[in-house]
Amino acid sequence: MAVSSSNTDAVLITVDQSGTGDYRTIQEAIDAVASNNSELIYISIKPGTYREKIVVPADKPFITLSGTEGFNTTITWNDGGDIFDSPTMSVMASDFVARFLTIRNDFGTRGKGIALRVSADRAAFYGCRITSYQDTLLDDFGRHYYYNCYIEGATDFICGNAASFFQSCQLHSLAKNLGTITAQHRNSPLENTGFTFLGCKITGLDNATVLGRPWGSYSRVIYAHTYMSSAISPDGWRDWDDPSNQRTVYYGEYKCYGPGADRSKRVGWSRELSHDESAPILNMTMIGGRSWLRPAPTRFRKHVK
């Protein structure tokens, strides 16, 4: 990552539906950022519900979108069908940050309706609420970090082939039966991708949800130090009706707790990790986070239209 200004100095753009900010819509603020931008851009979004379909294009890196609280700053749309066309918000640019936003797709239970698509490297989300029903978070590709986020859905609601680290997040299943939290899409043992959940919390209806199933035959998902409520069914994992996946997936649990963490009835092809096996994954090595995660700016320069 290289930017022309320091990591504590950013250009400030404000979005306010009342008209007192620089722009009334979030997309207008994003559109105002220069192509091939090399400055940190901090787009501060005033509380409200923004009915917009947002795209952060690939040629506009180093953008932060920030609300004040996840509950009072909402981006929402209502679209379904194709997973790449339906997202309420699509992040295509590297070095992106979102803070304290609700990102929602109101398509409902009719099928795939993505709230957030992340198709870029080095993206981080702090204190965000990401909600839909099926394929809520399309964690498509790149290295991503989610901290203290609330992610809600029923079917494959965290899916894709990114290398992602979820820390202190709540995963809430809406499923009444046969729900699935993850559908990780790793297709080869050579790919350094997978989802790691550290210190998270899983909630939902009793015995209605499993931890994951393989969208790709080498799917890799790890849960560590995570509270699993009775929402997790005793078998824990599914092979997507293809027993050959059982030989190639890497599904592990390490020191999880709660009624859903009992491994006595888990499928035999999932793993209870040892301390040594868990050590490499209980940090940000896979996402290289120490080299690109940055603190929120502390100094701001006014945006000039």
Specify which residues 210 forms β-bridges with: 180
Catalytic annotation, residues: 135, 156
pLDDT class for 237, splitting at 50, 70, 90?
A: very high
Calculate what percentage of the chain has a pLDDT beyond 70: 98
Handedness of CA 213, 153, 223, 140 (dihedral sign): positive
Write down the pLDDT at residue 6: 54
Query: How many angstroms separate the Cα of 35 from the Cα of each of 58, 164, 294?
Result: 9, 27, 22
Q: Rounded to the nearest 5°, which phi and psi values hold at 25?
A: -120, 155
Structure-token match 């029903």, residue found? 133
Separation between Cα atoms, residue 18 and residue 91, nearest integer Å: 26
Write down the pLDDT at residue 286: 86
The domain 154-287 having CATH identifier 2.160.20.10: the answer here is yes
Separation between Cα atoms, residue 52 and residue 15, nearest integer Å: 13
Mean pLDDT, the chain, whole residue set: 95
pLDDT beyond 80 at 242: yes
Q: Is the model more confident about 187 or about 5?
A: 187
pLDDT beyond 80 at 5: no
pLDDT beyond 90 at 1: no
Report the alpha-carbon angle 48-51-53, nearest 5.
Answer: 130
pLDDT beyond 50 at 4: no
CB 252 within 8 A of CB 272: yes
Mean pLDDT, residues 85-101 taken together: 98
Mean pLDDT, residues 129-153 taken together: 98
pLDDT beyond 70 at 2: no
Q: What is the domain partition of the chain in residue ranges?
A: 9-113, 154-287
- pLDDT tens digits, residue range 249-290? 999 999 999 999 999 999 999 999 999 998 888 888 889 988
Mean pLDDT, residues 127-131 taken together: 98
- pLDDT tens digits, residue range 176-212? 999 999 999 999 999 999 999 999 999 999 999 999 9
- pLDDT tens digits, residue range 9-26? 999 999 999 999 999 999
Residue 27 Cα to chain centre, angstroms: 20
pLDDT beyond 90 at 159: yes
Mention every residue, 6+ apart, whose C-beta is less than 8 A from residue 212.
Answer: 180, 181, 182, 183, 184, 195, 219, 221, 237, 238, 251
Q: Is the pTM of this model over 0.75?
A: yes
pLDDT beyond 70 at 3: no
CB 234 within 8 A of CB 211: no
- pLDDT tens digits, residue range 98-115? 999 999 999 999 899 999
